[in-house]
Structure 1
Amino acid sequence: MKQVRYFAILFCVALSVQAVAQETPIFPKGEKAVNVHHVGNVWLKELNVADSVFTYGTSVAIFDPGARLDWHSHPGGQILIITEGIGYYQEKGKPKQIVRPGEVVKCLPGVEHWHGATPESGVTYIATSPAQNGKTIWLHRVSDKEYNRTK
């Protein structure tokens, strides 16, 4: 009887390890975004649409390696929670930062910035921003020189 329990426990542990090894994403990939304000492949999944009670929207963005958003700003700011991969975040006039899972990026209201994946790694983040302050203000493309700059 003890052997049966032992094998049952081992079987459950093996299934758990297999599920973790598959790295199943928490949220579905969403819809592939049309390349209007970015370079490369980006998928978006809206998790919460802003309404009169919860006045902020929340989405998941998944970037292929090398994908990046154009320079932009958010009138009400934005918070990014990095969940997978390695990415970049850069504010106008400041050095590019590397961002990793577990890090939180606070995009201040009205500050021009861009974010995206590194050339070698995709990146996934949860983004939330207040809707009542206005939509994203899109500016211009991040040049290859800006994207590839090391400092």
Structure 2
Amino acid sequence: MKKALYISILLLASLTTPVLAQEGPIFPKGKKSPNVHHVGNVWLTELNAPDSVFAYGTSVAIFDPGARLDWHSHPGGQILIITEGIGYYQEKGKPKQIVKRGEVVKCQPGVEHWHGATPESGVTYIATSPSQKGKTIWLHKVTDEEYKK
């Protein structure tokens, strides 16, 4: 009797408890970006275009292992929220950092930097930046030496 009651309670709890961890990505993979300002495969999905009320654009970027953006800067800065995988972030003149799921990276306004995936792991992040300050300023490619260093 106790065993049947226990099983019934567990079954009922499993039917009424909300699912906390969903399988699969939160956002769609998006459109594959042409290799103009990066190396490797990168997919972008715009979540929110800036408008007259909310001046921040928000996108999701998904990088295959080894993919990386060119050196660039953001006049108004940028915030990256790492949602999956392991990646790199490096500011000009500073050592490369490893970034992981759950971390937040603040790309300071006007600071030259690059970010991307590690050779072994892809990385996904949500990026947001203020549009009223200006668009991304693309510089030069991250060399293989810089990437592997």
Q: Could you state the TM-score of these two structures normalised by the residue count of structure 2?
A: 0.89
Structure 2 equivalent of residue 67 of structure 1 = 67
Structure 2 equivalent of residue 148 of structure 1 = 148
Gaps of 5+ in 2: none
Q: CA deviation at 1:8?
A: 3.4
Instruction: Give the Cα separation in 2 of the matches to 1:132 and 1:45.
Output: 20
Instruction: Give the Cα separation in 2 of the matches to 1:145 and 1:12.
Output: 54
1:87 to 2:94 alignment: no
Residue 32 of structure 1 aligns to which amino acid in structure 2?
K
Structure 1 SS opposite 2:83 = strand
Q: CA deviation at 1:3?
A: 7.3
Instruction: Give the Cα separation in 2 of the matches to 1:141 and 1:4.
Output: 60
Q: CA deviation at 1:58?
A: 0.3
Q: CA deviation at 1:102?
A: 1.0
Residue 47 of structure 1 aligns to which amino acid in structure 2?
L
Structure 2 equivalent of residue 105 of structure 1 = 105
Q: How does 1:1-151 map to 2 (within 5 A)?
A: 2=5, 5-6=8-9, 8-9=11-12, 12=15, 20=22, 23-149=23-149
Instruction: Give the Cα separation in 2 of the matches to 1:3 and 1:103.
Output: 40
Cα deviation code 1:68-100 (max 9, x no counterpart): 000000011000001110000000000000001
Q: Find the structure with the greater CA-based Rg.
A: 2
Instruction: Give the Cα separation in 2 of the matches to 1:38 and 1:66.
Output: 11
Residue 8 of structure 1 aligns to which amino acid in structure 2?
L
Q: Could you state the TM-score of these two structures normalised by the residue count of structure 1?
A: 0.88
Instruction: Give the Cα separation in 2 of the matches to 1:38 and 1:11.
Output: 46
Instruction: Give the Cα separation in 2 of the matches to 1:8 and 1:108.
Output: 51
Structure 1 SS opposite 2:25 = coil
Instruction: Give the Cα separation in 1 of the matches to 2:15 and 2:87.
Output: 35
Instruction: Give the Cα separation in 2 of the matches to 1:69 and 1:9.
Output: 49
Structure 2 SS opposite 1:147 = helix
Residue 106 of structure 1 aligns to which amino acid in structure 2?
K
Instruction: Give the Cα separation in 2 of the matches to 1:8 and 1:104.
Output: 39
Structure 1 SS opposite 2:132 = coil
Instruction: Give the Cα separation in 1 of the matches to 2:68 and 2:12.
Output: 45
